[in-house]
Amino acid sequence: MPRQDIAKLSERLAEFARRRDWEQFHSPKNLSMALAGEAGELLEHFQWLTEAQSRALPAEKKEAVALEMADIFIYLLRLAERLDIDLMDAAWRKVAINEQRYPAERVRGDARRAEEYD
């Protein structure tokens, strides 16, 4: 997603909150807690599914999952805006860190955490 699209969405979300006088509630603490709650709601859609079922969601379930993911994305964007964090920049930096921590030739096909490798 291009930065300008993220910036436009972030501004629209800020305007949405301002028009409802919700900025007062959008502290980093509250937004991170809301984000965690939405992540829990996403998990509920996959609870008890097999791996195969989780990959082949029916259209109605897939739409519900998409909306939960959107809620997570929205809270994450609001949190980034409130903390003045460039989320795209942070994501690119984190990918570079992960490329160093998990070199493909060393970890291919192995899903352990970085500290579990020799």
What is the domain partition of the chain in residue ranges? 3-104
Are the CB atoms for 88 and 6 separated by under 8 Å?
yes
What's the confidence (pLDDT) of residue 48? Answer: 98
Average pLDDT of span 101-109: 92
Alpha-carbon distances of 90 from 14, 32, 58, 67, rounded to whole Å: 20, 17, 34, 24
Task: Provide the mean pLDDT of the chain.
Answer: 95
Pick the CATH number of 3-104 from 3.40.50.300, 2.40.280.10, 1.10.287.1080, 1.20.120.1200: 1.10.287.1080
Tens-digit pLDDT profile for residues 39-69:
999 999 999 999 999 999 999 999 999 999 9
Q: Record the tokens describing residue 74, joined without a space.
A: 């929205």
